[in-house]
């Protein structure tokens, strides 16, 4: 027979156990909660990585110094997690209070214990067999807001997953994937919106940027990156070429909370290396767009390459930079030039080459580099630097606010580009545009 004190002790232990269990679950729940306020102040949490670029400014800068030039060579692997998918691995994982959230190239999403690599959950998208990614299966990551993570898929769906379990909260079809549309970008969560641009510019899509309600999945706005009839910029397209104009937006943009402006870059017009049949500047291809985050309305735009015939997507991450009273936005462009703009107005402040450039040797009145006639693709082929792969590509830059140095992954790229004479008038599969050829040359 137990004594009264023994029974009381059991009750006390039971109460303590329940309290510890409640504390455990509250801690897990707290880990999954990422508010808009936390995203705004992500620089105050250097132990975490809350957005694709680490912060809304696109800087990919960290104040952590545990890994440095003195110990980099002595680093050893502590754990390895295999996604079990083959192909390009371009994801940037998020890290939130000790949990790592990532994606695989086949649209799987996963959560891991960042300290041990132990899997917490995995979601696998069952993709249809008729998806059409132009350049291999790719997914660049997730966004997180509240208790959900958000994924764009290769079959053009936007999905919200429970951050604790990986269970689907909502699933929305953005557009018909059989027409060449897909999502490869990591979404950007702003306020209560999930924002992402579409891929598929090689297939003659009409590009767009979407915003979805984070709670319900309802689409709140869509901005078409190729203007339709009656919209500003439509006059920069010949005939009906706008219907297959391309201009995808497949890299995550930046956000300025002081002006409530999104800065999203766009890709090449379609077809990518033949301008016949689409005379004009082809707005808003190869352009940086400043968009009101609440409404999706365009505030200003700056086009880096008008009437692009070399596949120089301007989808490199734009980086917000503040130098004293100067509020700037900079981009190391695929076309070989480094651009600095006024963030409020889009005015070009400078454009300087940061690699070998042969396609331009003059600038217009704004200072924008102009293409030489001799750089236009022909049926015989023209040697141009940079080639279609660009001086840089999707790889993200970094800006160090302590030194004001901008770092970019650059490489030489010289190619001969040949284009057929006949214009494209309808969408096609990648590589089915009367067989244009691109050949890599060693220089």
Q: What is each CA distance from 337 to 131, 139, 164, 182, in whole angstroms? A: 34, 27, 43, 28
311 included as an active-site residue: yes
- Residue 228 belongs to a domain: yes
Per-residue pLDDT, 28: 45
7: in domain: no
Cα separation, 350 vs 270, in Å, equals 28
Sign of CA dihedral 222, 88, 316, 433: negative
Closest Cα partner for 209 from 94, 125, 292?
292
Closest CA to 377 of 413, 412, 415: 415
Residue 272: half-sphere exposure toward Cβ, Cα within 13 Å: 29
| Cα gap 421→271, rounded to integer Å | 12
Question: Token digits for 166?
Answer: 């990986």
Residues 6+ apart with CB under 8 A from 280: 235, 236, 237, 238, 307
Per-residue CA distances from 103 to 78, 130, 326 (Å): 20, 21, 37
Residue 368 structural domain:
32-64+86-440
Rounded-to-integer distance, Cα 58 and Cα 155, Å: 27
How far CA 360 is from CA of 356, 369, 375, 377, in Å, comes to: 11, 6, 8, 14
Catalytic residue among 256, 311, 313, 413: 311
* Whether residue 398 has a cis bond before it, omega within 30° of 0: no
Q: How far apart are CA 348 and CA 329, in angstroms?
A: 10
Residue 88 in tokens? 């390009």
Length of the chain: 443
Establish if 21 belongs to a structural domain: no
- The confidence score (pLDDT) of residue 3 equals 44
Distances in whole angstroms, Cα of residue 347 to Cα of each of 28, 148, 367: 46, 37, 10
Sheet architecture: strand order including 188-190: 188-190, 193-197, 208-213, 219-224
The pLDDT score that the predictor gives to residue 429 is: 52
Contact residues for 328 (Cβ-Cβ < 8 A; gap 6+): 320, 321, 322, 340, 341, 342, 343, 349
For the chain, state the CA radius of gyration.
24
Residue 6 lies in a domain: no
Overall number of domains in the chain: 1
What local confidence, expressed as pLDDT, does residue 139 receive? 96
Residue 107's Cβ-side half-sphere holds a number of Cα atoms within 13 Å equal to 24
Q: What pLDDT score was predicted for residue 422? A: 59
**19 inside domain:** no
Residue 360 domain-assigned (yes or no): yes
Assigned domain for 317 exists: yes
The pLDDT assigned to 421 comes to 60
pLDDT at 87: 84
Give pLDDT, residue 231.
97
Task: Tell me the CATH number at 415.
Answer: 2.140.10.10
95 preceded by a cis bond (ω within 30 of 0): no
- Low-confidence spans in the chain with pLDDT less than 70: 1-32, 420-443
State the chain's maximal CA–CA distance in angstroms: 100
- Whether 79 is covered by a domain: the verdict is no
Supply the pLDDT for residue 406. 98
Among 419, 421, 425, residue whose Cα is nearest residue 241: 425
């Amino acid at each position: 027979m137990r004594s009264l004190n023994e029974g009381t002790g059991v009750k006390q232990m039971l109460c303590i156990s329940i309290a510890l269990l409640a504390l455990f679950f509250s801690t897990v729940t707290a880990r999954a909660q990422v508010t808009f306020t936390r995203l705004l102040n992500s620089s105050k949490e250097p132990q975490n990585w809350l957005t694709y670029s680490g912060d809304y400014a696109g800087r990919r800068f960290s104040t952590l110094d545990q890994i440095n030039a003195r110990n980099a060579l002595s680093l050893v692997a502590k754990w390895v997690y295999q996604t079990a998918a083959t192909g390009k691995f371009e994801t940037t994982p998020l890290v939130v209070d000790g949990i790592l959230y990532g994606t695989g190239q086949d649209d799987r999403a996963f959560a891991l214990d960042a300290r041990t690599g132990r899997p917490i959950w995995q979601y696998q998208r069952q993709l249809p067999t008729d998806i059409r990614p132009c350049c291999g299966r790719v997914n660049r990551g997730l966004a997180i807001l509240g208790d959900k993570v958000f994924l764009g898929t290769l079959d053009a769906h936007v999905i919200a997953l429970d951050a604790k379990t990986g269970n689907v909260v909502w699933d929305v079809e953005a557009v018909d994937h059989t027409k060449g549309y897909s999502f490869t970008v990591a979404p950007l969560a702003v306020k209560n919106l999930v924002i992402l641009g579409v891929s598929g510019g090689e297939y003659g899509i009409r590009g767009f940027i979407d915003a979805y309600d984070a709670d319900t999945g309802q689409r709140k706005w869509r901005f078409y990156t190729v203007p339709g009839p009656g919209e500003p910029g439509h006059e920069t397209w010949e005939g009906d070429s706008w219907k297959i104009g391309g201009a995808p937006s497949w890299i995550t943009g930046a956000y300025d909370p002081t002006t409530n402006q999104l800065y999203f870059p766009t890709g090449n017009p379609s077809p990518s290396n033949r301008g016949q049949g689409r005379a004009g500047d082809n707005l808003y291809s190869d352009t940086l767009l400043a968009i009101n985050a609440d409404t999706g309305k365009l505030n200003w735009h700056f086009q880096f390459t008008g009437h692009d015939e070399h596949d120089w997507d301007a989808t490199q991450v734009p980086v917000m930079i503040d130098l004293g009273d100067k509020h700037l936005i900079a981009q190391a462009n695929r076309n070989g030039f480094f651009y600095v703009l006024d963030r409020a107005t889009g005015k070009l402040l400078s454009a300087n080459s940061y690699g070998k450039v042969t396609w331009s040797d003059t600038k217009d009145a704004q200072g924008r580099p102009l293409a030489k006639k001799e750089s236009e693709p022909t049926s015989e082929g023209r040697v141009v630097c940079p080639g279609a792969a660009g001086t840089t590509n999707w790889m993200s830059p970094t800006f160090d606010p302590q030194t004001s140095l901008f770092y970019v992954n650059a490489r030489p790229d010289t190619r001969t580009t040949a284009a057929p004479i006949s214009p494209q008038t309808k969408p096609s599969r990648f590589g089915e545009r009367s067989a244009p050829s691109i050949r890599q040359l060693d220089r």
